[in-house]
């Protein structure tokens, strides 16, 4: 991208549009640069890319190496204060909950009841919180495992809602029901009906076409302040969640821990001169790292490299079970 733009600038300068003096030429090139920047910014703003920024052209050195060690060094440098984690179904699979798009999926089949082994990747997020580094955890998961693992409600944005609570669909009523109530209805194979008004009761999970929860608005204040984005176990194909990767500042490193690469830069947008999505390959990459493999394994290795292995172990072993139970029983991730 930087190459394209500097080439354009150079062409315009040498052709000169009849400019005789060098300063005038520079000035005129500067104005054209600015126009180009404004144009890029306009497109960027219109398309909500958040990348109309000249910083990107300079390829800053934010990571020593483009791998897990580079991210670890970056954290150890002490300059990381606000980590945002983004997750999808892949962080729950080790708890026996299938994801959506892996070939062997069996959707939500094991969701009822929380007598499941705890997935380590979720505890990694809670460990970041305990270290005071977690700005927010954004999840697409509706299984409420993050709540169970003890991630405090104010640190959690359940972007696609939750199955943990349900609500009467009657706008005049909106009576709330808990998981136990809904589970009983499902197991009894009856349509859940509101005890107040007899309208249907629907889980608080977001269905396609429905608006996202109000809390998703936290994106606006969180992402500009993010200094490390960690993306775990998601195919990054569902919008608007997947485009959150573009909402962090242009220099912010982005780490993907997943079975396979996801959210790759859109080639069409690259041709248009925009960076959009994650860019693991190519000479222009200075901040995106993919660690490919199992989420739990990646998180364990990450903790080990940070010198936090014992902390993670004890969090998993003794952990936040009591904290988790109280979070689950008191319910919603309702406040910031």
What residues are annotated to the active site? 160
99 or 204: CB nearest ligand OAD: 99
CA atoms of 291 and 236, how far apart (whole Å): 15
CB proximity list for 91: less than 8 A, separation 6 or greater: 119, 121, 122, 139, 141, 145, 232, 233, 295
* Number of residues this chain uses to bind ligand OAD (CB under 6 A): 23
- Does 64 contact ligand OAD by CB under 6 A? no
Q: Burial, 119: exposed, middle or buried (Cβ in 10 Å; 0-12, 13-18, 19+)?
A: buried
Q: Which residues between 274 and 333 bind ligand OAD (CB under 6 A)?
A: 294-295
Tokens standing for residue 217: 């608005």
Q: In this complex, which beta carbon is closest to ligand OAD, that of residue 295 or of residue 320?
A: 295
Q: List all residues 6 or more positions away from 289 whose beta carbon is below 8 Å from its beta carbon.
A: 63, 66, 67, 68, 70, 71, 253, 254, 255, 256, 280
- Taking the least distance from each CB to ligand OAD, the nearer of 213 and 250 is 213
- What single-letter DSSP state applies at residue 102? S
Please select the residue that binds ligand OAD; options are 40, 137, 147, 160, rule is CB under 6 A. Answer: 160
Q: Is there a contact between 148 and 158 (Cβ–Cβ < 8 Å)?
A: no
Query: Which one, 233 or 277, has the nearer CB to ligand OAD?
Result: 233
Q: 336: helix, coil or strand?
A: coil
* Residue whose CB is less far from ligand OAD, 66 or 238: 238
Considering the complex, what minimum distance in angstroms separates the CB of residue 98 from ligand OAD? 8
The structure tokens listed for 242 are: 């997947």
Using CB under 6 A as the binding rule, whether residue 43 contacts ligand OAD is answered as no
Per-position x/- string for 69-108, each x denoting binding to ligand OAD as judged by CB under 6 A, each - no binding: -------------------xxx--xx----xxxx------
Question: From residue 230 to residue 269, what is the string marking binding to ligand OAD with x (rule CB under 6 A)?
Answer: ---xxx-xx-------------------xxx-x-------
Question: Maximum CA pair distance of the chain?
Answer: 86
Residue appearing with tokens 């396609």: 208
Q: At its nearest, how many Å lie between ligand OAD and the CB of residue 92?
A: 8
Binding of residue 13 to ligand OAD (CB under 6 A): no
Kindly list the residues in this chain that would bind ligand OAD in the complex (CB under 6 A): 88-90, 93-94, 99-102, 140, 160, 206, 233-235, 237-238, 258-260, 262, 294-295
């Amino acid at each position: 991208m930087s190459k394209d733009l500097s080439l354009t600038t150079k062409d315009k300068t040498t052709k000169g549009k009849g400019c005789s003096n060098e300063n005038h030429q520079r000035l005129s090139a500067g104005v054209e640069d600015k126009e180009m920047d404004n144009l890029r910014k306009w497109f960027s703003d219109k398309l909500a890319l958040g990348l109309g920024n000249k910083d990107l052209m300079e390829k800053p050195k934010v990571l020593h190496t483009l791998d897990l060690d580079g991210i670890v060094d970056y954290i150890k440098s002490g300059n990381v204060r606000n980590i945002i984690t983004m997750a999808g179904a892949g962080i729950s699979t080790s708890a026996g909950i299938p994801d959506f798009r892996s070939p062997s999926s069996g959707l939500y089949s094991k969701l009822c009841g929380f007598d499941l082994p705890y997935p380590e990747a979720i505890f990694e997020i809670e460990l970041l919180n305990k270290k005071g580094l977690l700005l927010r955890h954004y999840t697409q998961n509706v299984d409420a495992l993050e709540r169970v693992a003890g991630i405090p409600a104010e640190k959690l944005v359940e972007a696609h809602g939750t199955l943990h609570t349900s609500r009467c669909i009657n706008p005049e009523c909106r009576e709330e029901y808990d998981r136990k109530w809904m589970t009983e209805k499902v197991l009894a194979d009856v349509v859940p009906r509101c005890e107040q008004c007899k309208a249907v009761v629907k889980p608080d999970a977001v269905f396609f076409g429905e608006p996202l929860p109000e809390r998703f608005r936290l994106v606006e204040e969180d992402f500009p302040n993010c200094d490390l984005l960690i993306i775990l176990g998601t195919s990054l194909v569902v919008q608007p969640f997947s485009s959150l990767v573009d909402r962090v500042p242009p220099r912010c490193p982005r780490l993907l821990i997943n079975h396979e690469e996801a959210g790759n830069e859109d080639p069409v947008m690259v041709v248009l001169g925009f960076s959009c999505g994650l860019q693991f390959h190519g000479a222009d990459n200075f901040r995106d790292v993919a660690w490919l493999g199992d989420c739990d394994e990646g998180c364990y290795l990450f903790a080990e490299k940070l010198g936090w292995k014992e902390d993670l172990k004890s969090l998993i072993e003794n952990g936040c079970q009591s904290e988790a139970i109280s979070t689950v029983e008191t319910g919603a991730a309702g406040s910031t």
